[in-house]
Amino acid sequence: MKRYAFLYNPGAQGGKSGMNLGRLREYISDFTYAHLFQSLNIGDITDFINQSLDDFDVFIACGGDGTAREVAAPLLNTEKKMGIIPMGTGNDLCKTLNIPLELEESISLIKKEHTVDIDVGRCNDFIFLNSLGFGFDGLTNRYASELKHWNPFLTYAVSALKAVINHSPFELTINENGKVVSGPAIMFAVANGRVEGGSFWIAPQASITDGKLNTVWVKPINKWLIPILLPLFLIKKPRPIPQVKSAKVEKISLHFSEKVDIHADGEIIKSTSNDFHISMHPKALKVICGL
């Protein structure tokens, strides 16, 4: 008999996820052996998993991409499975994993328990499941975190427009297996999944099971051009933009000339360093999904 731990983050989607808590409780009652844990503070979910790792077979993140990242960290390279009930703002990872965004359908997928071993990215001392962004998209996510009660699409659209106005270019040095290149940038993203910011296809061809990370280096663009070019990311066509350079890597090191805004899976990362070492944990996490 499988033992399920449902890990609910009441802060997901700016606190609006609570509207579905009653329905979630009803669906959980259908499971023979299940426990619902509600976090109160950052780190509660990690502590619960570390203390209860032997007590459950499946740990289910009930929240957004940040919640999924917190659930995933202590499960890496174990035989435990992770599920996701999307209750966040962007739910970007679910789009790559083919996890339905509707509550009842995502519960049904959990019951089927089709599991895939996915890759997990690491940057310095933290992991990311979906995407890691420096500069423009880090700034966009910082603005999005301040618009907690908006419609998800509007949240990221308005935040991106604010970033268009307020972003600044920086110098970036990239070291990939000893090959060093430098140049100006307004953004550098590392994608394990395909979508970020709710609807922006940052890496349409990315695979979360190929052992590779997709990098997206965006060089300076006239600010008035960015709102015209951003829709290309909405229709999965970022490649024609001449200022966008993409590549696939297994590991990479970055040095920034100055402090830049950073996000990991939509959550703001605070760092005192200008140096970042990024690598891959191939097939390190067992996830129930629709792939």
For 193-251, how does the pLDDT look when each residue is reduced to its tens digit (9 = 90+)?
999 987 888 898 899 999 999 999 999 998 888 877 777 776 676 666 788 899 999 99
> Are both 159 and 118 inside the same structural domain?
no
Number of structural domains the chain divides into: 2
Domain containing 162 equals: 126-281
> Are both 77 and 174 inside the same structural domain?
no
> Are both 130 and 259 inside the same structural domain?
yes
> Are both 148 and 219 inside the same structural domain?
yes
128-162 tens-digit pLDDT: 999 999 999 999 999 988 887 777 778 888 898 89
Is 287 domain-assigned? no
Residue 25: what pLDDT? 92
CATH number of the domain residue 30 falls in: 3.40.50.10330
> Are both 80 and 101 inside the same structural domain?
yes
* Lookup: tokens for 29: 């009652």
Nearest CA among 283, 242, 274, 249 for reference residue 75? 283
93-116 tens-digit pLDDT: 999 999 999 999 999 999 999 999
> Are both 243 and 142 inside the same structural domain?
yes
* Lookup: tokens for 14: 């700016």
Is 178 domain-assigned? yes
CA distance 256 to 73: 26
Is 290 domain-assigned? no
> Are both 150 and 101 inside the same structural domain?
no
CATH number of the domain residue 211 falls in: 2.60.200.40
265-290 tens-digit pLDDT: 999 999 999 999 999 999 999 999 99
